[in-house]
A and B are shown apart, each in its own frame.
Chain A
Amino acid sequence: MAHSDSVKASVPSYLKEAQMIKQGAEARVYRGKFLGRSVIIKERFPKLYRHPEVDEKLTRRRTTQEVRSILRCRRAGINAPVVYFVDYTTHCIFLEDIIHSVTVKDHIASAQASEQNPQDLQTLADKIGETLAQMHDEDVIHGDLTTSNMLLVSGAEDQNMKLVLIDFGLSYISALPEDKGVDLYVLEKAFLSTHPKTETLFERLLKSYTASSKKSPAVIKKLDEVRLRGRKRSMVG
């Protein structure tokens, strides 16, 4: 299509106009303008340490998987940013800018620091469990669940808190309880290593997940198995 061709040709110019807000391990994230809206542009740049073929295949796969998983979530009513445009030559994704939001990581950190309103965190844990249950019921495996990859959009009250999942770069589609269990395991590890003394909060999250998901028993069973694996593995050498 002529329009998308012209946009494709000028993707680098969009990047030049945009403001880089973060350079992660995987991608550079910019804030810019696209078709009159504020957007987040996620640019997966080539990793020079990788063999070029490994790099190209991996980067393309991750871009595709990210977009597919976001669309699948959105279709199921789970909050994720809108995808406006994808360019497969520069591996750029143009996403909705979720304004007036904080990462769950920052929210928990400040809530713990100020020591007020523990109920707030309980509700948050419930909400996260619910959302992940919905996502897993859609057979979407996020692949990189951390509290930095969940955004809280400020609403009027906590009851209306809107949780948005982002960063689907390592995601894929799978119905296997094993994969869902590993997904939760990744979150558990990230959660507990980033936020000290939150074991009970995470327990509540899992309870909410179990209650909300139709397929949860098998998943929790796998989670328990994966947790033991680290401990039981014979470490030689």
Chain B
Amino acid sequence: MRRTFPHEEAFSKAILAVVMVLQPASVRSNMTVVIGFEGSANKIGVGIIRDGEVLSNPRRTYITPPGQGFLPGETAKHHRSVILTVLQEALDEAGLKAEDIDCVAYTKGPGMGAPLVTVAIVARTVAQLWGKPLLGVNHCIGHIEMGRLITNAQNPTVLYVSGGNTQVIAYSERRYRIFGETIDIAVGNCLDRFARVIKISNDPSPGYNIEQMAKKGTKYIELPYTVKGMDVSFSGILSYIEDAAHKMLSTSQCTPEDLCFSLQETVFAMLVEITERAMAHCGSQEVLIVGGVGCNLRLQEMMGVMCKERGARLFATDESFCIDNGAMIAQAGWEMFCSGHVTELSDSWITQRYRTDEVEVTWRD
């Protein structure tokens, strides 16, 4: 079932016009080059991977004023306005032409509808124009494959934490199985919404600013801690702290920095706990943190302490790869393409809900 979004047709025509200009001479190459398009939330990125080498990875972020979140329609509008520029940058930085690309990968889901469609349209158009096969990639798997590529972790327990997702994943028998997850909202969503309540700037991201403020916090405010088996829950702590923010800040019982500090200490402890449980369950000795919230150095620090106590290794990437980016889609696309996957045009729809364990991971044993 395919929804039509406004301006789709006009936009397609516009792309055709611009992309026509990118046709050029061919360069002989025996290696596999995949271009990846990502725009499931407020970041729009295009990245190019050649056999495990990141050739380019430009990105733009749609940033809203403090106190506001990003809405699907406006996010899509932002992506439309910059995607072709970013595409051109990706090709220029990689020093490649359209003919050098072997496969066009894009985010099939999960994510927000309108932005996903915007990006999918460009990917489809470009694939058809350049005569290259198309590949719809699962966003979560993009994060995992990029994490594996960059860190060279062999078989880690993966903590995937972002604004839209919070999952503990382990690979087993051709699936990335979800061992634990949030039963309501993602941890990044909890942090972002809290940032709105205390009107923290969304530039470069609310989570980053919470992290900086938390460093200055000194007083620990007791907050609800909710772990249920291997799962976590954040909606309780969010409503509690939203309430506490109004009460305590107005009576100067604590500073916003104290709240940021307390929130981080609590939610990150919950995440480390469920990761540790999964590790104990699977007998794993490696942890890989991926997703935007994975940039947070305090989270990395806490996870590092837990790993050290167990004699396990921690792997994490920097913000160019933690935060949504095109190259991660290209990398997952590369793995899929090399193991024979292709997405037919008729199957190249997008979906807002796409479970990590729905994909058959044929590129690993």
Contact = CB atoms under 8 A, between A and B. Distances in A.
B322 to A, nearest CB: 12
Contacts, number: 112
Prevailing SS type, chain B contact patch: mixed
B99 interface: no
Contacts of A234: 110, 112, 164, 352-353
A237 B269 contact: no
Interface in A218-237: 226, 229-237
A224 B304 CA distance: 37
Among A51, A53, A55, A58, max chain B CB count under 10 A is at A51
Looking at chain A, what size class is its interface with the partner chain? 20 to 34
Contacts of A197: none
A186 B229 contact: yes
A146 B228 CA distance: 12
A18 interface: no
Nearest to B358: A231
Given A236-B41, A236-B163, A237-B111, A186 B230 contact: yes
B257 interface: no
Contacts of B82: none
A117 interface: no
Nearest to B186: A237
Contacts of A145: 229
A170 B229 contact: yes
Contacts of B42: 237
Given A226-B183, A229-B183, A236 B228 contact: no
Contacts of A193: 177, 179
B305 A182 contact: no
Interface stretch (B13-21, B273-281, B336-344): B273-281
Contact of A237 (B165, B231, B276, B302): B165
A189 interface: yes
A100 to B, nearest CB: 25
Given A57-B222, A186-B229, A190-B230, 18 more contacts: A47-B269, A48-B309, A49-B309, A50-B272, A51-B265, A53-B220, A53-B222, A146-B229, A170-B228, A186-B231, A190-B229, A229-B183, A231-B355, A234-B353, A235-B352, A235-B354, A236-B163, A237-B291
